[in-house]
């Protein structure tokens, strides 16, 4: 069976005396934007997606072609595996080197049905006294599901400055019909309004879907390299686009608060403004076009890969940065999403 000529995660099996995959992991080269993957297990794959195996011996030589592979103790033909059955599997290899039979360590991997992550976008401003209500609603959703990706889009309005102002905020507001603050959108296009019913989000979060997103990133000084992989069970839909946002947590700034006298609010008697309010999920930069880059035309079970390189603003706190990745449809509705901290490798889920 022919393996598609694309950059993908590989299952790498090394002899027991060598370093573990968690120690070696991924090497990124920010100057060229290239990502070199070596000795890393693709933690998860879709049903019937090709999973290539690779063996690197202690000398650093590729001995894949002389290795026999066993998945769940059953010999497989060649150097690849795929399964239409979901579940967890184990693989190891056996090869002969200088007349000695060597058995590699055993690696685990999973075959999955992707789960949907719901996007919540919070259009907000530090000057907006009603905006903390959306923050409270998001926190309530977080208490019941982790299958959400949050983006807080800040805006300076007239004489009301916001130090976290996103330069392309008007493009987003115009596209998604946002005329005033606070405003919240589910999956970009659905208005989420008072009383911000949690079930509006949880009814979709974690549901089965037919494609998955993975993220690899590495930050060296202020140079960030990000690789995004998307794989579809049935191929992309015409008009699909990729959106990649950089967000930051833990930004401290006063927040206007019209709920200071509201006993039902979590912000009751916290002051107006609330001093040193913690702002999370703040949209800092779009690595794609703001509304996304075209990815339609991706065949079923082939990996679509994009690599991005950018120099970060030195004012950002690098330890607080994360990535939010969406695949959106032609009308800009988010079909699925993934999120990961910078320097975290997030596999298909």
Mean residue pLDDT of the chain comes to 89
Give yes or no for a contact between 102 and 18, defined as CB atoms under 8 angstroms apart. Answer: no
Per-residue pLDDT of 272-330, as tens digits, reads 999 999 999 999 999 999 999 999 999 999 999 999 999 999 999 999 999 999 999 99
Which is more confident, 107 or 5?
Answer: 107
Give the model's pLDDT for residue 41.
57
Six-digit token pair at 269?
A: 């008697």
Residue 9 has pLDDT above 90, yes or no: no
Per-residue pLDDT of 16-32, as tens digits, reads 333 333 333 333 333 33
Q: Which residue's entry shows tokens 């919070």?
A: 122
Topology of domain 118-341, per CATH?
Immunoglobulin-like (2.60.40)
pTM as predicted: 0.87
Domain range 11-112, its CATH number among 3.90.320, 1.10.1740, 1.10.760, 2.60.40: 2.60.40
Residue spans in the chain of domains classed CATH 2.60.40.10: 118-341
Is 174 strand, coil or helix?
A: helix
Pick the range with the lowest mean pLDDT from 41-55, 67-81, 311-325: 41-55
Residue 337 has pLDDT above 90, yes or no: yes
Per-residue pLDDT of 236-280, as tens digits, reads 999 999 999 999 999 999 999 999 999 999 999 999 999 999 999
Per-residue pLDDT of 101-160, as tens digits, reads 999 888 899 999 999 999 999 999 999 999 999 999 999 999 999 999 999 999 998 889
d(CA 148, CA 119): 6
Q: Which residues pair with 73 in a beta bridge?
A: none
Give yes or no for a contact between 125 and 157, defined as CB atoms under 8 angstroms apart. Answer: yes
Is 121 strand, coil or helix?
A: strand
């Amino acid at each position: 069976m022919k393996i598609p000529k694309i950059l993908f995660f590989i299952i790498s099996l090394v002899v027991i005396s060598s370093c573990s995959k968690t120690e070696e992991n991924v090497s990124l080269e920010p100057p060229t934007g290239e990502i070199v993957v070596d000795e890393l297990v693709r933690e998860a794959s879709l049903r019937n997606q090709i999973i290539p195996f690779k063996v690197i011996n202690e000398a650093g030589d590729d001995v894949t072609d002389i290795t026999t592979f066993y998945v769940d103790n059953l010999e497989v033909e060649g150097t690849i595996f795929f399964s239409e059955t979901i579940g967890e599997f184990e693989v190891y290899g056996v090869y002969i080197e200088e007349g000695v039979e060597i058995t590699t360590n055993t690696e685990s991997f999973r075959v999955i049905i992707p789960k949907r992550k719901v996007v919540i976008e919070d259009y907000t401003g530090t000057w907006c006294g009603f905006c903390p209500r959306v923050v409270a609603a998001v926190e309530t959703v977080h208490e019941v599901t982790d299958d959400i990706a949050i983006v807080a889009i800040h805006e300076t309005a007239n004489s009301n400055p916001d130090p976290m102002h996103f330069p392309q905020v008007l493009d987003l507001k115009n596209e998604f019909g946002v005329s005033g603050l606070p405003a919240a959108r589910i999956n970009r296009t659905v208005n989420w309004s008072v009383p911000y019913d949690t079930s509006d989000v949880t009814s979709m979060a974690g549901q089965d879907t037919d494609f998955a997103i993975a993220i690899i990133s590495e930050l060296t000084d202020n140079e960030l390299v990000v690789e995004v992989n998307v794989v579809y069970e049935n191929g992309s839909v015409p008009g699909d686009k990729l959106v990649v946002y950089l967000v930051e947590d833990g930004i401290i700034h006063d927040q206007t608060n019209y709920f200071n006298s509201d006993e039902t609010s979590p912000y009751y008697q916290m002051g107006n403004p609330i001093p040193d309010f913690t702002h999370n999920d703040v949209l800092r930069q779009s690595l794609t076009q703001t509304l996304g880059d075209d990815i339609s035309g991706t065949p079923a079970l082939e990996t679509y890969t994009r690599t991005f390189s950018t120099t970060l603003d030195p004012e950002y706190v690098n330890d607080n940065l994360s990535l939010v990745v969406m695949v959106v449809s032609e009308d800009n509705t988010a079909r699925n999403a993934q999120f990961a901290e910078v320097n975290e490798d997030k596999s298909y889920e």
